[in-house]
């Protein structure tokens, strides 16, 4: 290991030294120019839920809007019934589990990465501009729940939708906590167009993504 | 010295005869080009995004050392381990050492052009490791034992039936020989095979689209979700990336993401954009215990010194390939390099030498369509011309080209002789064509006449006509 | 106004009609047109083959010869962009020459841009035909020539412009490219020719003789019955002129 560390520090010095020399010798260093187009200040504008909905659908996901958390179960039942799925829904977030529990849905709070067909997770935020969901990893919200299942159900609070990605970063900076290991910006289910340009959903991740907005 | 000169021409000829390839290339020329057009049509500010994106990448290059140091510091404080690799060989060694330390056996990989560039798979295989590409396209070319032929669509040259045959040969346990496979069936079969690999791998190796100096994070852009599975399941993670990928802030990443997907696949945004910061945190149920980031130089700091500098703005979207008539004619393999098309015609000689890739800067009509779609506005034709100039200075072009140029410049710098030569030339040409019909014996004309007709319209040059008009006045 | 007409080597040797038509249009608009006999070529061929020293010596000649005129006008987008865009690049490290190159650059125009943007000429002609226009790459991307030829052509009575699929895609000529990589070039020009054929137009027009020779030569070989002309030939009237690539 020490050899490797020595080698590493030598290479680091070489590369950075080389770059420094070039930039200084050729006088390339310049101040940063302001971007021409910073995201227009949309903070005062209301979120256009119809636009968000359209983006979600354009990304081949599905969306439904419910008035209260009590209606989630019914919505999920319909979704699973339509897809003809009886597998248990993996819900690791204890709060979400308690909310859903007792409404006649087959749910489990066991995390078994070898056997997850349906998962339900909570989105931290969402972006109106692109119909993207922002998932923040934490012990209650393992990243793999966004990728392992065939069917991914996401619960989203309407008030957490922002206009654009930069507002997500702003929120992240203002929360003053250290960054989570993973932030997933998810826009529609998994897809590939590698074979003959044919778009096929469900390449490795979810085959379908259903968003329930409260 | 390997003479890739003739190799490009040979492979290009073969490619032009390959009907399946030609069919596949129509999809690039029509499909991907139209996808991009549709995607930018709905974004009136797209031109401004391109300007800003180019400016950000240029700014990074002008302060590359500072941003790399900032990135490193923040990555380390998030718990990641940062490695620096001067050459491809160094990078391979670092990664092999990490594999050894972790007693790894099974490795899964997400798509990474840097890993292709450093020829990582071969090194891992030679050291007894089992390595599987998990991006569907990369997996297919891995099964076929071929390099990718497009930087974002690795198996663009393969048809469904060719892929079905590959799967039949390799997935003997689950493939049904008598079944007529659709694209969906193939994708499902790959999913099934790959899922087992994901769940049993020791190490996940992925690339990075951007490195964020502000936070020490990496940004990963995919559609399949394979990169994310590679990143959250194995207990060790290695990121192979290169030094020019660093960006100052997260806001810069949002800007670059606005142009990347639209230019690449014509999506407003890809399915998955992921920000990874350090290894798994306390009580996380998934994520790697170790996160290694390997920063590869491999000729880039040298490029920074030269006129090739602006090429380091490249974000690997592939738009220049899709819009290049030469790529559209011969596909990726003819270039005999990890990076094909216009960007590859610069990067390949820059990384591996002008001698080895003599043809690439020359096999270009300088039509400039590539740079008109480049999301970071790299002056590709200017750089290609610069490479031609370097080749000329190194006397790499063949003797007959140099001789013709010299002969022509002799006349072009002597106006009187030049005009006399032109009138003689046009006279001779007319005689050849009208009487002897032997144009094909003249070297330049023979390659023209193989596929095109030719006829000058007059017996006289314009200068002769003009002269007699002046005399008549 | 005194105009120095830059003939270009291809027009000089292979298609004098383009120069004749250009000069006719300029003179009709009361321009005083001169064709300096000291001119040779624009140096593009050396420049694109990496020979900068030769390029510079030829460029110096062009600058010397054309400096005295109010304008330099050339019937080719690619030659003009060599003069207008690349001469200043060539002399970027020689302050004096750079200034002269920049001065010449400012007063250099491609013929159609000049006729439309500077002279604002009106075409009073009738020519019943369907034409399709190929945007040559240098003119299009380095000089922004796109609307000018179409505007001028549309003034011709009974002339219909029908656009081909992707008129902005390269025809595969690329100067020496077409003889260095003939198979690739052929593949590209074959696609272009088919796109032209599919428009059903009688005539292909363009602004660069190199491309027009390439396309007309390929169409002729593929037995596509299309007539090729430079835009100025149509604007000036082509009554006594055979299409490009055809002999009597």
How far apart CA A105 and CA A99 sit, in angstroms, is: 11
CA distance, residue A146 to nearest chain B CA (Å): 9
pLDDT of residue B473: 76
Q: Which residue of C has its CA nearest to B442?
A: C179
Q: Any chain B CB within 8 A of the CB of A97? A: no
Q: Which of residues 5-24 of C touch B (CB under 8 A)?
A: 7, 9, 11-17, 19-20
Total count of domains within chain A? 1
How far apart CA A70 and CA A132 sit, in angstroms, is: 24
Nearest to B336 by CA among B322, B323, B352, B320: B352
How far apart CA A206 and CA B224 sit, in angstroms, is: 9
Nearest to C135 by CA among C191, C205, C71: C205
Assigned domain for A35 exists: no
Nearest to B272 by CA among B255, B260, B284: B260
Q: Is the per-residue pLDDT at A39 higher than 60?
A: no
Q: Which of C3, C4, C12, C215 to mutate to test the interface with B (most CBs of B within 10 A)?
A: C12
Task: Please say whether the beta carbons of C34 and C5 come within 8 A.
Answer: yes
Assigned domain for A4 exists: no
Task: Please say whether the beta carbons of A152 and A210 come within 8 A.
Answer: yes
Q: Any chain A CB within 8 A of the CB of B206? A: no
Classify the complex by whether its ipTM is higher than 0.85, answering yes or no: yes
Task: Please say whether the beta carbons of A182 and B275 come within 8 A.
Answer: yes
Q: Residue A211's pLDDT band (boundaries 50, 70, 90)?
A: very high
Closest CB to A192 among B45, B136, B158: B136
> Do the Cβ atoms of B285 and A178 come within 8 Å?
no
Q: Is the per-residue pLDDT at A97 higher than 50?
A: yes
pLDDT of residue B449: 87
Chain C residues lying within 8 Å of B410, measured CB to CB? none
Q: Which of A91, A128, A140, A204 to mutate to test the interface with B (most CBs of B within 10 A)?
A: A204
At CB < 8 A and 24+ separation, what contacts does B346-350 make? B346/B308, B346/B311, B346/B380, B346/B383, B346/B384, B346/B387, B347/B311, B347/B314, B349/B387, B350/B299, B350/B303, B350/B308, B350/B311
Task: Please say whether the beta carbons of C8 and C41 come within 8 A.
Answer: yes
Closest CB to A181 among B59, B134, B280: B280
Radius of gyration of chain A (CA): 22
Nearest to B259 by CA among B319, B311, B308: B319
Encode pLDDT of B270-286 as tens digits: 999 999 999 999 999 99
Q: Which of residues 177-236 of C touch B (CB under 8 A)?
A: 177-190, 213-214, 216-218, 220-221
List, in sequence order, every residue forming a beta bridge with B353; answer none if it has no partner.
none
What subunits make at least 3 CB pairs under 8 angstroms with C?
B
Q: Any chain B CB within 8 A of the CB of A194? A: yes
Task: Please say whether the beta carbons of B4 and B358 come within 8 A.
Answer: yes
How far apart CA B350 and CA A144 sit, in angstroms, is: 39
Closest CB to A181 among B56, B101, B284: B284
pLDDT of residue B2: 42
**Least trusted range by pLDDT, from A194-203, B51-60, B120-129, C183-192:** A194-203
CATH architecture label of C122-236: 3-Layer(aba) Sandwich (3.40)
Residues 6+ apart with CB under 8 A from C3: C26, C31, C32, C33, C34, C69, C70, C71, C72, C73
Encode pLDDT of C72-103 as tens digits: 999 999 999 999 999 999 999 999 999 999 99
Q: In degrees to the nearest 10, what's the CA dihedral of B83, B89, B93, B95?
A: 60
The DSSP call for residue C181 is S
Q: Which of residues 92-121 of B touch A (CB under 8 A)?
A: 94, 97, 101
Task: Please say whether the beta carbons of C159 and C128 come within 8 A.
Answer: yes
Local structure of B45: helix, strand or coil? coil
pLDDT of residue A1: 47
Counting as low any pLDDT under 50, the low residues of chain B are 1-4
Please give the C-alpha separations between residue C51 and each of A145, B328, B405, C44, C82, in angstroms, as whole numbers.
Answer: 60, 28, 8, 10, 14
Q: Any chain B CB within 8 A of the CB of C169? A: yes
Dihedral pair phi/psi, residue A183, rounded to 5°: -120, 120
Q: Which of residues 240-269 of B touch C (CB under 8 A)?
A: none
CA distance, residue C185 to nearest chain B CA (Å): 8
Mean pLDDT of C8-16: 95
How far apart CA B232 and CA A202 sit, in angstroms, is: 18
pLDDT of residue A44: 62
Q: Which residue of B has its CA nearest to C89?
A: B382
How far apart CA B187 and CA B178 sit, in angstroms, is: 17
Across chain C, mean pLDDT equals: 95
The residue length of chain C stands at 248
Q: Which helix (H) or strand (E) holds B56?
A: helix B46-62
Mean pLDDT of C204-209: 97
Task: Please say whether the beta carbons of B86 and A15 come within 8 A.
Answer: yes
Local structure of B340: helix, strand or coil? coil
CATH number of the structural domain B43-298 = 3.40.50.10420
pLDDT of residue B179: 86
Dihedral pair phi/psi, residue B145, rounded to 5°: 55, 45
Q: Which helix (H) or strand (E) holds C126?
A: strand C126-133
Mean pLDDT of A49-59: 96
Domain ranges of chain C: 2-116, 122-236
Q: Is the per-residue pLDDT at A2 higher than 70?
A: no
Give the CATH number of the domain where residue A169 resides: 3.40.50.10420
Residues 6+ apart with CB under 8 A from B334: B8, B11, B12, B14, B15, B340
Encode pLDDT of C109-150 as tens digits: 999 999 999 999 999 999 999 999 999 999 999 999 999 999
How far apart CA A125 and CA A214 sit, in angstroms, is: 12
Q: Where in the sequence is the domain holding A65, given as residue range(s)? A: 49-213
Q: Which residue of A has its CA nearest to B232?
A: A144
Dihedral pair phi/psi, residue B426, rounded to 5°: -70, -30
Assigned domain for A15 exists: no
Q: Residue A176's pLDDT band (boundaries 50, 70, 90)?
A: confident
Q: Any chain C CB within 8 A of the CB of B432? A: no
Residues 6+ apart with CB under 8 A from B278: A179, A181, B75, B78, B79, B80, B216, B291
Q: Which of B451, B467, B468 to mutate to test the interface with C (most CBs of C within 10 A)?
A: B451
pLDDT of residue B260: 97
Q: Is the per-residue pLDDT at A40 higher than 70?
A: no
Chain B residues lying within 8 Å of C181, measured CB to CB? 9, 12, 326, 362-363
Q: Which of residues 122-151 of C touch B (CB under 8 A)?
A: 137-138, 141-142
Higher per-residue confidence, B350 vs A38: B350
How far apart CA B362 and CA B385 sit, in angstroms, is: 8
Chain B residues lying within 8 Å of C74, measured CB to CB? none
> Do the Cβ atoms of A58 and B268 come within 8 Å?
yes
pLDDT of residue B397: 83
What subunits make at least 3 CB pairs under 8 angstroms with A?
B
């Amino acid at each position: 290991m020490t050899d490797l560390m020595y080698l590493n520090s030598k290479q680091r010095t070489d590369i950075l030294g080389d770059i420094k020399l070039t930039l200084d010798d050729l006088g390339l260093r310049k101040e940063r120019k302001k971007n021409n187009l910073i995201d227009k200040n949309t903070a005062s504008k209301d979120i256009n839920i119809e636009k968000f909905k359209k983006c979600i659908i354009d990304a081949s996901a599905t969306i439904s809007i419910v008035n209260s958390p009590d209606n989630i179960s019914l919505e999920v039942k319909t979704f699973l019934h339509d897809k003809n799925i009886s597998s248990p829904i993996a819900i690791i977030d204890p709060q979400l589990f308690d909310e859903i529990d007792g409404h006649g849905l087959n749910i489990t709070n066991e995390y078994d990465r070898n056997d997850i067909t349906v998962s339900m997770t909570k989105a931290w935020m969402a972006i109106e501009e692109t119909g993207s969901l922002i998932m923040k990893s934490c012990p209650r919200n393992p990243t793999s729940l966004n990728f392992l299942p065939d069917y991914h159900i996401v619960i989203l609070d309407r008030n957490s939708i922002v206009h654009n990605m930069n507002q997500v970063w702003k929120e992240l900076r203002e929360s003053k906590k250290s960054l989570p290991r993973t932030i997933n910006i998810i826009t529609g289910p998994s897809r590939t167009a590698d074979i003959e340009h044919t778009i096929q959903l469900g390449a490795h991740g979810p085959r379908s993504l259903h968003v329930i907005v409260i | 010295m390997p003479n890739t000169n003739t190799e490009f021409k040979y492979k290009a000829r073969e490619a032009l005869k390959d009907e399946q390839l030609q069919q596949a290339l129509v999809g690039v020329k029509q499909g991907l080009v139209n996808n991009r057009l549709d995607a930018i049509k709905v974004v009136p500010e797209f031109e401004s995004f391109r300007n800003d994106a180019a400016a950000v990448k240029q700014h990074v290059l002008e302060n590359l050392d500072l941003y790399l140091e900032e990135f490193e510091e923040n990555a380390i404080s998030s718990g990641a381990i940062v490695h620096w690799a001067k050459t491809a060989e160094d990078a391979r060694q670092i990664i092999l050492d990490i594999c050894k330390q972790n007693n790894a056996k099974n490795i899964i990989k997400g798509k990474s052009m840097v890993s292709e560039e450093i020829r990582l798979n071969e090194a891992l295989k030679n050291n007894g490791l089992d390595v599987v590409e998990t991006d569907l396209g990369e997996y297919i070319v891995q099964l076929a034992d071929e390099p990718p032929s497009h930087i974002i669509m690795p198996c663009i040259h393969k048809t469904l039936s060719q892929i079905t045959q590959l799967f039949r040969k390799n997935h003997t346990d689950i493939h049904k020989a008598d079944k007529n496979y659709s694209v969906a069936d193939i994708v499902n079969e790959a999913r099934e095979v790959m899922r087992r690999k994901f769940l049993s791998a020791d190490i996940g190796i992925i690339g990075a689209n951007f490195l964020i100096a502000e936070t020490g994070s990496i940004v990963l852009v995919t559609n399949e979700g394979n990169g994310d599975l590679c990143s959250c399941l194995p207990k060790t993670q290695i990121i192979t990336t290169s030094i020019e990928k660093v960006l100052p802030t997260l806001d810069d990443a949002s800007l670059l993401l606005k142009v990347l997907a639209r230019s690449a696949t014509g999506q407003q945004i890809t399915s998955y954009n992921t920000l990874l910061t350090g290894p798994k945190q306390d009580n996380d149920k998934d994520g790697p215990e170790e996160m290694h980031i390997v920063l590869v130089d491999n000729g880039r700091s040298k490029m920074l010194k030269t006129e090739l500098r602006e090429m380091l703005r490249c974000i690997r979207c592939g738009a220049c390939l899709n819009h290049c008539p030469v790529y559209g004619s011969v596909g990726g393999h003819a270039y005999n390099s990890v990076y094909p098309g216009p960007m590859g015609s610069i990067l390949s000689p820059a990384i591996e030498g002008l001698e080895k890739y003599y043809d690439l800067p020359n096999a270009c009509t300088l039509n400039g369509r590539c740079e008109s779609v480049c999301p970071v506005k790299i002056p590709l034709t200017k750089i290609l011309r610069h490479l031609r100039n370097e080749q000329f200075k190194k006397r790499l072009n063949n003797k007959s080209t140099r001789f013709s140029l010299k002969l022509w410049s002799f006349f072009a710098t002597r106006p009187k002789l030049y005009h006399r030569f032109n009138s003689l030339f046009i006279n001779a040409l007319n005689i050849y064509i009208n009487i002897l019909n032997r144009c094909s014996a003249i070297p330049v004309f023979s390659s023209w006449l193989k596929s095109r007709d030719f006829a000058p319209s007059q017996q006289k040059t314009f200068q002769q006509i003009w002269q007699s008009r002046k005399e008549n006045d | 106004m005194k105009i120095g007409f830059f003939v270009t080597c291809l027009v000089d040797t292979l298609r004098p009609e383009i120069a004749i038509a250009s000069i006719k249009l300029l003179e009709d608009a009361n321009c005083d047109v001169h064709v300096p006999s000291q001119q040779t070529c624009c140096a593009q061929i050396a420049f694109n083959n990496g020979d900068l020293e030769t390029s510079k010596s030829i460029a110096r000649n062009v600058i010397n010869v054309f400096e005295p005129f109010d304008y330099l006008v050339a019937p080719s987008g690619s030659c003009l962009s060599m003069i207008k865009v690349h001469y200043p690049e060539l002399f970027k490290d020689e302050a004096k020459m750079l200034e002269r190159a920049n001065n010449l650059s400012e007063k250099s125009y491609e013929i159609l841009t000049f006729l439309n943007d500077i002279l604002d000429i009106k075409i009073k002609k009738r020519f019943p035909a369907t034409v399709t226009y190929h945007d040559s790459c240098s003119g299009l991307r380095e000089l922004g020539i796109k609307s000018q030829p179409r505007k001028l052509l549309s003034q011709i009575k009974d002339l219909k412009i029908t656009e081909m699929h992707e008129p902005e895609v390269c025809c595969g000529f690329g100067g020496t490219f077409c003889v260095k990589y003939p198979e690739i070039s052929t593949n590209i020009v074959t696609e272009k020719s088919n796109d032209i054929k599919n428009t059903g137009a009688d005539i292909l027009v363009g602004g660069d003789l190199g491309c027009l020779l390439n396309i007309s030569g390929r169409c002729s070989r593929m037995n596509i019955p299309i007539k090729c002309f430079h835009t100025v030939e149509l604007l000036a009237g082509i009554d006594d002129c055979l299409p490009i690539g055809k002999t009597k």
